[in-house]
């Protein structure tokens, strides 16, 4: 959470910082700030609210060196004072992560007469840098990070040094190499179009960045070298493509996420096959939407490979003493490849000897570095906080992976690509979105794979529209949840499994007979015939292999969430209280 950026070079740092923060805003958007050097003087500007609030404070600034931060609050409410950078004397610092021992450090600093103005954990870093500074910011950083517990990506500047000093432990930080200019940022999209090569700091690294050079050191300040990669974000179009929101733009890119993921899979087929060759058990791990993809991965692997499988959230898996051995494959699924719980789950699996497979859309992330093999999700940059195309990319990747595990020939995905395009273009659920926008609660129901999509639909709707509800197996409705049903609730059924369709229709009837509103997404003919006369909200999805139907029903629930959010005047790209990358526990 939080996005950080640094720049030094021939261009105006304040413009680069501002544009970079706009691109990093999906990581946090409750406040932002910048620090820069102009005429040898250090200035700090910061403001509660979205990054655009910073523009008036930066637009006339001319500087060749600066740092910036966009915040997702962990300690201290969103406010001007709690925003970063934090300053202590002639030093300013931005931080992404959590300093777990901040209270103890703060107590000691207070007894040394340091004055705290914010409620954040990060302010201790500014004061520690100040305390440890004796004319060399690099050495001050080295001493400071030795005192910290927790996670951090730190970027600091000082008014008497024409360089930026950074450090990283368990929070992402990349370096961008330019000509006569250099960059630091939380991730590649922030540097799209700015530099062609990047390297990635590893845990314990400390970096010294000037306009002419980048030097990387280990914790003892011994120089180390890190691999240099092309900046893949250079070619990415991060514009809105005439859409009012990224969520809509990215929803329209769902078909491509499926197609490009299938293509990218060919590149790892051999390596993956070798790694999975003696696997007799699989665990699928992820958080939020990625966990819902994990539920689908489990079903695929069970059905195709007939091996015992589990799906777990990262936060549960890492603390449950999982039963794992060298013949277990652990699939760590994450759009960002940065989610702390998922990364730690992968590390735990590695320590227990499992084969760890990263399924990720982020090809230079922590997860890709630690996994034995990476199954690429080729969805492209996803800016909207709500996952759309990354989810369908994950489902496509897991479908191909489970087929490989089972040594089974998968369906070619070009047909479902066409059906995805058709669903994106033609499914018109505006009327249902209006009803959901007025509902007291919206329940998503399904069985088996449809249930997995139901929980994702429910998360998506809650996340972007703030309408409460739940995703539930339709067979479980009568065991409790039915008590919640009345005329102010909407129950959205997903029915794409012919074998289970009649059971789900029973559940529709149970809701209708209690006065609840119902809607159905289905591709089963007899369901359409039976229910069309009974409920106005029967939406027909294209027929396809049942295992691929989640790709189509996902589009339906994503569209519903988007249109409900818009009907309620919400900003679906930046839902309240959230951030896209959750790099803290």
Interacting positions 30-89 with ligand M6R (CB under 6 A)? none
Q: Tokens 């012919």 identify what position?
A: 498
Q: Which two tokens stand for residue 302?
A: 């069970």
Please state, in angstroms and rounded to a whole number, the distance separating the CA atoms of residues 40 and 257.
Answer: 48
Which helix (DSSP H) or strand (DSSP E) does residue 125 occupy? helix 123-132
Question: In the stretch 386-425, what mask flags binding to ligand M6R with x, by CB under 6 A?
Answer: xx--------------------------------------
Q: Is residue 385 at the binding interface for ligand M6R, with CB under 6 A as the rule?
A: yes
Binding part of the chain for ligand M6R, among 37-45, 223-231, 241-249, 333-341 by CB under 6 A, reads 333-341
> Is position 580 annotated as part of the catalytic site?
yes
Is 555 a binding residue for ligand M6R by CB under 6 A? The answer is no
Pairing of strands 91-99, 150-158: antiparallel
Q: Which of 260, 275, 390, 272 shows the shortest CA–CA distance to 336?
A: 390
Does residue 582 touch ligand M6R according to CB under 6 A?
yes
- Candidates 336, 403, 489, 523; binder of ligand M6R (CB under 6 A) is 336
Indicate whether 342 belongs to the interface with ligand M6R (CB under 6 A).
yes
- Residue 98's DSSP bridge partners are 151
The C-alpha atoms of residue 332 and residue 297 are separated, in whole angstroms, by 11
Residue 59, classed as helix, strand or coil, is coil
Q: Binders of ligand M6R among 289-308, rule CB under 6 A?
A: 289-290
Stretch that binds ligand M6R, among 170-178, 258-266, 320-328, 381-389 (CB under 6 A): 381-389
To the nearest whole angstrom, how small is the minimum distance from the Cβ of residue 368 to ligand M6R? Answer: 13
Provide the 8-state DSSP code for 25: G
Q: Which of 2, 158, 309, 436 is catalytic?
A: 2
Q: Which of 166, 174, 184, 287 binds ligand M6R (CB under 6 A)?
A: 287
Q: Does 122 bind ligand M6R (CB under 6 A)?
A: no
- Which CB, 1 or 45, lies closer to ligand M6R? 1
Q: 207, 217 in Cβ contact below 8 A?
A: yes
> Burial letters for 367-379: b for 16+ Cβ neighbours within 10 Å, e otherwise?
bbebbbbbbbbbb
CB of 259 to ligand M6R, least distance (A): 20
Residues 456-495 that bind ligand M6R (CB under 6 A): 459, 463
Contact 460/563 with Cβ under 8 angstroms? Answer: no
* Catalytically annotated residue among 22, 298, 559, 580: 580
Complex with ligand M6R: residue 224 or 578, whichever CB lies closer:
578
Applying CB under 6 A, does 566 fall inside the site for ligand M6R?
no
Q: Does 248 bind ligand M6R (CB under 6 A)?
A: no
288 makes contact with ligand M6R (CB under 6 A) = yes
Q: Residue of minimal CB distance from ligand M6R? A: 288
Choose one: 56-64, 105-113, 225-233, 382-390; the region binding ligand M6R (CB under 6 A): 382-390
Residue 316: which residues within 8 A CB-CB, separation 6 or more? Answer: none
247 forms part of the interface with ligand M6R (CB under 6 A): no
Q: Is 563 in the site for ligand M6R (CB under 6 A)?
A: no
Only one of the segments 133-141, 305-313, 335-343, 431-439 lies at the binding site for ligand M6R (rule: CB under 6 A); that segment is 335-343
3 state DSSP class of 495: strand
Q: Does 452 bind ligand M6R (CB under 6 A)?
A: no
User: Does residue 250 belong to the site contacting ligand M6R (CB under 6 A)?
Assistant: no
Return contacts of 266-271, CB within 8 angstroms, 24+ apart. Answer: 267/376, 268/373, 268/374, 268/375, 268/376, 269/404, 271/373
Q: Say whether residue 359 binds ligand M6R (CB under 6 A).
A: no
In whole angstroms, the minimum distance from the beta carbon of 360 to ligand M6R comes to 8
Cα-Cα-Cα-Cα torsion 13, 16, 19, 24, nearest 10 degrees, comes to -100
Beta-carbon count within 10 A of 203 CB = 12
Give the chain's end-to-end CA distance (angstroms, integer): 10
Helix, strand, coil share of the chain (percent; to 5): 40, 25, 35
Say if residues 231 and 198 touch (Cβ distance below 8 Å).
yes
Q: Which residues are catalytic?
A: 2, 580
Chain positions contacting ligand M6R, by CB under 6 A: 287-290, 334-336, 339, 342, 385-387, 459, 463, 581-582
């Amino acid at each position: 959470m939080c996005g950080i950026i640094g720049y030094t070079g021939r261009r105006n740092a304040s413009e680069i910082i501002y544009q970079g923060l706009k691109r990093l805003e999906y990581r946090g958007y409750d406040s932002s700030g910048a620090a820069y050097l102009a005429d040898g003087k250090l200035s700090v500007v910061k403001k509660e609210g979205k990054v655009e609030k910073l523009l008036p404070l930066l637009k006339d600034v001319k500087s060749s060196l600066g740092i910036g931060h966009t915040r997702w609050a962990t300690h201290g409410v969103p406010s001007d004072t709690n925003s970063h950078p934090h300053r202590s004397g002639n030093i300013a610092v931005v931080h992404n992560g959590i300093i777990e021992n901040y209270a103890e450090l703060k107590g000691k600093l207070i007894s040394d007469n340091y004055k705290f103005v914010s409620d954040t954990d990060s302010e201790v870093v500014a004061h520690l840098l100040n305390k440890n500074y004796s004319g060399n910011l690099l050495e001050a950083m080295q001493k400071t990070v030795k005192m910290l517990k927790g996670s951090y990506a730190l970027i600091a500047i000082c008014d008497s040094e024409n360089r930026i000093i950074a450090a990283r432990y368990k929070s992402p930080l990349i370096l961008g190499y330019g000509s006569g200019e250099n960059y630091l940022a939380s991730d590649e999209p922030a540097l799209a179009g700015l530099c062609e090569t990047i390297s990635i700091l590893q845990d314990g690294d400390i970096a010294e960045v000037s306009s002419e050079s980048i030097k990387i050191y280990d914790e003892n300040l011994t120089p180390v070298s890190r691999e240099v990669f092309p900046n893949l974000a250079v070619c990415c179009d991060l514009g809105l493509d005439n859409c009012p929101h990224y969520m809509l733009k990215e929803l329209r890119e769902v078909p491509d996420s499926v197609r490009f993921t299938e293509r990218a899979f060919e590149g790892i087929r051999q390596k993956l096959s070798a790694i999975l060759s003696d696997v007799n058990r699989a665990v699928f791990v992820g958080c939020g939407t990625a966990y819902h993809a994990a539920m689908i991965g489990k079903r695929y692997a069970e059905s195709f490979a007939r091996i015992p499988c589990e799906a777990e959230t990262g936060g549960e898996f890492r603390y449950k003493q999982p039963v794992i051995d060298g013949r277990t494959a652990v699939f760590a699924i994450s759009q960002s490849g940065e989610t702390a719980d998922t990364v730690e789950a992968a590390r735990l699996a590695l320590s227990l000897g499992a084969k760890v497979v990263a399924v990720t859309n982020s090809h230079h992330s922590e997860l890709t570095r630690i996994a034995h093999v990476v199954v690429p999700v080729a969805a492209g940059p996803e800016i909207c906080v709500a996952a759309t195309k990354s989810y369908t990319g994950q489902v496509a990747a897991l479908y191909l992976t489970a087929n490989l595990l089972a040594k089974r020939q998968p369906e070619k995905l070009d047909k479902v690509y066409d059906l995805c395009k058709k669903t994106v273009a033609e499914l018109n659920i505006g009327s249902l979105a209006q009803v959901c926008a007025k509902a007291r609660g919206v329940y998503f129901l399904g069985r088996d794979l449809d249930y997995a999509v139901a929980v994702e639909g429910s998360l998506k709707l809650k996340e972007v529209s703030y309408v409460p509800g739940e995703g539930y197996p339709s067979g479980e409705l009568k065991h409790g949840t039915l008590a919640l049903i009345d005329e102010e609730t909407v129950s959205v059924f997903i029915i794409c499994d012919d074998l289970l369709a009649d059971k789900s229709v029973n559940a529709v009837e149970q809701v209708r007979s209690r006065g609840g509103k119902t809607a159905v997404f289905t591709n089963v003919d007899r369901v359409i015939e039976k229910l069309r006369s009974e409920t106005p909200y029967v939406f027909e999805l294209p027929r396809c292999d049942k295992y691929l139907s989640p790709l189509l029903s996902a589009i339906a629930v994503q569209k519903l969430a988007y249109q409900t959010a818009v009907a309620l005047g919400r900003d679906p790209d930046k839902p309240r209280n959230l951030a896209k990358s959750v790099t803290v526990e």
